[in-house]
Amino acid sequence: MPVAKPIARLTRRAEFLKVAAAGRRWAAPGLVLQVLRSGVVASGKPIRLGFTASRKVGIAVLRNRARRRLRAAAAEVMPRHAAPGHDYVLIARAATPSRPYSALVEDLCTALRRLGVYQEAVPSDGP
């Protein structure tokens, strides 16, 4: 069974601002993905991931729902397909809380491909 890539969280405002200022971005109907190479790319270098939802998404209940849905989609996609050694920021859009989950997952995969950080999943050796 392949080893999952370690995922760390972006928590400080300065980290989010650095990715926004110097990184690349792709907007999909359900989310916006920002990516910044975080230095030397090595297989052991963790994926760093941050989530945000502005008031444009809606009231606090909707913003929290949007972040939970983005976290769930990222937990499914990022360990298998995101390139290590990058910082990622997922930004919720107004459609995020009501968009079908499968469409959110596809939006994330498409954004990773468009930004050139998508990697094919390594098949496991065992049954």
Q: What is the CATH number of the domain that holds 47?
A: 3.30.230.10
Q: Write out the chain's pLDDT in tens, 127 residues.
A: 455 667 899 999 999 999 999 999 999 999 999 999 987 555 567 889 999 999 999 999 999 999 999 999 999 999 999 998 899 999 999 999 999 999 999 999 999 999 999 988 755 444 5
Q: Is residue 120 part of a domain?
A: no
Q: Per the confidence metrics, is the pTM higher than 0.85?
A: yes
Residue 71 belongs to what domain range?
Answer: 7-114
Q: Is residue 127 part of a domain?
A: no
User: Count of domains in the chain?
Assistant: 1
User: How far is residue 123's CA from residue 10's CA, in Å, rounded to a whole number?
Assistant: 29
User: How far is residue 76's CA from residue 80's CA, in Å, rounded to a whole number?
Assistant: 8
pLDDT for residue 56: 96
